[in-house]
Amino acid sequence: MIQHFPVLSVMVLFFSAFLIEIVGKKEILRNVIAFLAVTASLVMLACLIPSVMIDGQVISYWMGGWAPESGYAIGIGYEVDSLSLLFALLGITAYWLSCVYSFGYMKGKQNLGHYYTLFLMLAGASVGFFLTGDIFNMFIMMEIVTFSAVALTAANTDKLTAIEGAFKYLVNCSIGSSMMLAGIALLYMNCHTLNLAQLSAILPGSFNSTTLLAFALILTGFCVESAMIPFHPSFVDAHTVAPSSVSMILSGMVLKLGVYGIIRLSYIIFRVIDTSAIQVMLTLIGTVTMFIGVTMALAQHDFKRLLAFHSVSQLGYIIAAAGLCTTLGLNASLYHAVNHTLFKGLLFLCAGAVIHSTGTSDLDSLGGLSKRMPKTCICFVIGAFSISGLPPFNGFVSKWMIYQAVYEKAMQTGNFFYVVVTVTALVVSVMTLASFVKVLHSVFFGQLRKEHEDVKEVSPIMLIPMGIMSFLCIFTGIFYREFDRVFINSAVTSAFDNIDYVDGMMGDGYSVTYGLAGLTGGNLEFSYWNPYVWLSLFLMVFAAAVLVTLIMGRTTGRTLESGEDYDSAYGTGDLSVDFRGQTHESGDPEEKYAVFFSGEKAEYSHAGGSDLFWGFKYNWHRYYEVLQGLHSGSVNDYSIYAVIMISMLCIFMYIFMR
Amino acid sequence: MLILRYLFYVLIFPGALFTVLVGWLLAGLDRKVIARMQRRIGPPVLQPVYDFFKLVGKENIIPAQANRTAYKMAPFISFVSLSVIMLFIPIFGFTAVNGVADLIVILYLITIPGVALIVGGSSSGSPYGAVGISREMVTMMSYELPFVLALLAVAKKAGGDVLVFNLTDIGEWQVMNGCMAFHWSMIPAALAFLLVIPAEVGTQPFDVAEAETEICEGPLCEYSGAPLAVFKLSTHMKMCVMSALFTALFFGGIRTGYVVTDVILFLAICVLVTLVCITTVHAVTARLRIQHLFKFYWKYVSVLALISLALVWLGA
């Protein structure tokens, strides 16, 4: 029974997608079908955890029973090892949460039948992408993902920017998938098979210039999919304009397709990750990506655009760590991939809640929402601290592993490049914190805007997914050892040792005929602060501090809660504690600043949004001028960058790998 | 028994009480010495203690604009995280909680008080707070780079070909090979670290975030009474934590064999570090502007730390 679960978990999503198109008009039926489909898929994949993750089995399934004939795989096969199951589970969890959130967020929008159809197509294709054992099938799934994502990005058809973003996304992904198709054609020409397991048995022994070009092209395809530099601008544009429930999927989940592809390709199929040229290349791409992503994010003043640039930056961390080819490095990379889906999903959902309540995502025109939307604020704080890597949230665990892995690599190889990577990663982390401080201040703290006085907290159906994600962020941060052992370790093992993967698909002993041997990545030894000790200490001291305040707070003075109290208590009507006076309503910016600097009367200054951190931006203005010029918003420019990058990758391969 | 021991560690030594007392001592000495440098008599050494209890007795006003929870919690988060950091810093031979912390963990824990200050200032809803937190954040970004470079240089020096981030291991290495500060290749890193301390603590000339004369202490602008007292206390504790970290990293090789003499020697070095890098720098400089601060750290201090890192990598 259990070997049917992988294919069923994909089929149920696709089948329900068509079912929804039939009953699309009836809201309740539609929502029930969507929810049941995603839940069924989630449950089926969760049932695979014991046998795949814990026992280390590889589950294979041949479509239509077309098993390999005399060592050649002809039919399409599904193959689930720990690596694919990790990503598939991650994906379906994100889809489940996004689906629940959509019920609240998309309520009342038009064409919801199409929305859920496309949503389930996207979910099915992503899960299929992770579970399939056939490289052409992988390409097909990637195409379905691309086209559903494009259509979902443009779901707000009344917004012109949405259609423009979708178009850019389409062009960019088409470049990537064309490259991938060309690479697959070359592979088929050379190896006469499309099965991943068979390819990974044949390829390491027969490496020639054709397969090298194929590797370069397919790698480019996956780099596009994971929004590496310089393919990122159109993704950012699309993530900004899509509905938030979709942005969360696109940014948190769909980018992971590329990550999975790169890991599967370089660790298992081609096994080229043990050459130092590939390691340096992947780490270099990752490092540049994380740096440019975060510096661009610092300059943004749109909530969702800022988050989208942070996705680019975090993906840089993931790829840089994956390129190290050490057990700890890949462990860190996968852990960060999981964490990124959790906290970035959470942050996009918070952004969605803010947009849903206020109707805007411009940081310059928001403020003080923490009093109106306290639950969203708490979720956002958890997400923001997680992505900035503050202890004890999950981002800290994975980032800490990344630093350790990179610096260890530096020490082992004696290559100063990895030191630069470590420093960049640490500095990027503090910049991440900086830009989330900006969001926290501009959206949730600071002063409440007059027009947002009667903003309401979002409905529970939207808060539930946010709560679950916040919980998971804390859970994976504190119980990291257990989580790492069950989910991540087995995936790392299966990535390093592909003999089981080949034998599981092609029959026992197949790998022996090709003389395959597993990669070695060193031991997984990471010392990490013990969060239990720390947490218990923290709680103890905190309890002590609270006790002290309680005792002292009783005896000293009163706590005045508002300006009115102050006035009535002291009768000094002129001295207003309330900053939000009359002057700013005139809307004259000069007057606003004049009042602010002179400090008289009722002050009003937002001093948030794009105003924050000008001391930093002032020093970097030349860098920002260049970056601003490069992020022109024109898809023509973006395509040119893509072509340049593809040529560079191919040239790199031919120089260093032959 | 274990619980009692942990309670002792956390609450008394080397946790909250010890950090607070040392912080007061350092702050008092700082004020006294700076006054002598400026030919003033200066306040008594116990002035920070008097100030603390005076502030605790004052009325506590929460502005109408503020987010009350975040506003009230922020100072205590700052206080708690600072007393927890002290547990992880080895005092020569003595470590309260062994094997659970290292350089990167310390690096991150030290950012928490800064974040708490930012959250507090931001949640007060004051425009001065807004300006203050933006400067605080830029200050944080400025000193992070030299800080990281100096820490990595120390790690490489102590580790050689293996990864050593653990503070206890770094201390042991110094016992075997002499203190870090006595290795000539580490002197630039030590200098860079000394220059990071005043920015981390927020004293002149790097007190742009709390500039009293222009933005009324920025994030602390709206604070009054006990929360203000706790924030002020955190600043003093930060002096203690930073100088202790410096001592552990660069003078960690000293062992007298007795805990008491170890602690006294440790304190003496902490006082010396504070007087050199906080008091003297404060006495002879005027406040920088935020963009100059950023430039100073990324251009000069980082280069100092980078020289050390490069020297260590070249095998010096």
- For B39, the token pair is 């030919």
Which sequence spans correspond to the domains of chain A? 2-532+626-656
Spatial CB neighbours of B8, under 8 Å, sequence gap ≥ 6: none
The pLDDT assigned to A565 comes to 43
Which sequence spans correspond to the domains of chain B? 2-313
- Interchain contact A556–B (C-beta under 8 A): yes
Digitized pLDDT (tens) for each residue of chain B, 316 residues in all: 777 777 777 777 777 788 888 899 889 988 888 898 888 888 998 889 998 888 888 777 777 777 777 787 788 888 888 888 888 888 877 777 665 557 888 888 888 888 888 888 888 877 787 788 888 888 888 888 899 888 888 888 887 777 777 787 788 888 888 777 778 888 888 889 988 999 888 887 888 878 777 777 778 888 887 888 888 899 999 988 999 888 888 887 777 777 788 888 888 888 888 888 888 888 888 888 887 888 888 889 999 888 888 888 887 6
- Interchain contact B8–A (C-beta under 8 A): no
Chain centre distance of CA A214: 27
Return d(Cα A66, Cα A86) in angstroms, integer.
Answer: 26
Distances (CA, A) of A426 to A108, A246, A284: 44, 30, 15
Distances (CA, A) of A393 to A145, A480, B10: 31, 10, 22
Q: Which residues of A touch B69 (CB under 8 A)?
A: 374
Q: What percent of chain A has pLDDT over 90?
A: 12
Residue type for position A217: L
- Interchain contact B98–A (C-beta under 8 A): no
Minimum Cα–Cα distance from B315: chain A residue? A414
Are A556 and B57 a contacting pair at CB < 8 A? Answer: yes
Question: Is the pLDDT reported for residue A567 higher than 50?
Answer: no
Return d(Cα B59, Cα B224) in angstroms, integer.
Answer: 7
Nearest CB to A370: which of B67, B101, B149? B67
CA distance A557 to chain B (A): 4
Between positions 158 and 177 of B, the ones with CB within 8 A of A are 159-163, 165-166
Between positions 473 and 532 of A, the ones with CB within 8 A of B are 527, 529-530
Confidence of residue A96 (pLDDT cuts 50, 70, 90): very high
- For A386, the token pair is 């997680």
Q: Contact, A494 vs A82, CB < 8 A?
A: yes
Chain centre distance of CA B64: 32
Are A446 and B112 a contacting pair at CB < 8 A? Answer: no
- Interchain contact A615–B (C-beta under 8 A): yes
Q: Which residues of A touch B15 (CB under 8 A)?
A: 541
- Interchain contact B290–A (C-beta under 8 A): yes
Question: Is the pLDDT reported for residue A558 higher than 60?
Answer: no
Are B62 and A441 a contacting pair at CB < 8 A? Answer: no
Question: Is the pLDDT reported for residue A551 higher than 60?
Answer: no
Minimum Cα–Cα distance from A535: chain B residue? B84
Nearest to B100 by CA among A535, A334, A408: A535
Between positions 230 and 259 of B, the ones with CB within 8 A of A are none
Are A433 and B156 a contacting pair at CB < 8 A? Answer: no
Return d(Cα A411, Cα A404) in angstroms, integer.
Answer: 10
Minimum Cα–Cα distance from B219: chain A residue? A446
Look-up of token digits 């070009």: A213
Rounded average pLDDT over A403-421: 84
The pLDDT assigned to A611 comes to 62
Question: Is the pLDDT reported for residue A508 higher than 80?
Answer: no
Are A368 and B6 a contacting pair at CB < 8 A? Answer: no
Are B163 and A430 a contacting pair at CB < 8 A? Answer: no
Query: Angle at CA B203, nearest 5°, toward B277 and B223?
Result: 150
Nearest CB to A616: which of B63, B111, B294? B294
Residue type for position A241: V
CA atoms within 13 A on the CB side of A462: 25
- Interchain contact B298–A (C-beta under 8 A): yes
The ipTM estimated for the assembled molecules is: 0.87
Between positions 400 and 439 of A, the ones with CB within 8 A of B are 400, 403-404, 407-408, 411-412, 414, 416, 419, 422-423, 426-427, 430-431, 433-434, 437-438
Confidence of residue A552 (pLDDT cuts 50, 70, 90): low
Interface contacts A/B by beta carbons within 8 Å: 225
Q: Contact, A323 vs A278, CB < 8 A?
A: yes
Q: Contact, A91 vs A10, CB < 8 A?
A: no
Confidence of residue A610 (pLDDT cuts 50, 70, 90): low
CA distance A281 to chain B (A): 22
CA distance B37 to chain A (A): 32
Q: Contact, A243 vs A639, CB < 8 A?
A: no
- Interchain contact A605–B (C-beta under 8 A): yes
Are A579 and B125 a contacting pair at CB < 8 A? Answer: yes
Mean pLDDT of chain A: 80
Minimum Cα–Cα distance from A378: chain B residue? B70
- Interchain contact B15–A (C-beta under 8 A): yes
Q: Which residue, among A437, A524, A539, A580, would best test binding to B if mutated, counting the most B CBs under 10 Å from its CB?
A: A437
CA distance B270 to chain A (A): 24
Q: At residue A79, what are phi and psi to the nearest 5 degrees?
A: -140, 125
- Interchain contact B125–A (C-beta under 8 A): yes
The pLDDT assigned to A52 comes to 84
Q: Contact, A566 vs B62, CB < 8 A?
A: no
pLDDT in tens, A218-243: 999 998 888 888 888 888 888 888 88
Q: Contact, A311 vs A255, CB < 8 A?
A: yes
Q: Contact, A172 vs A209, CB < 8 A?
A: no
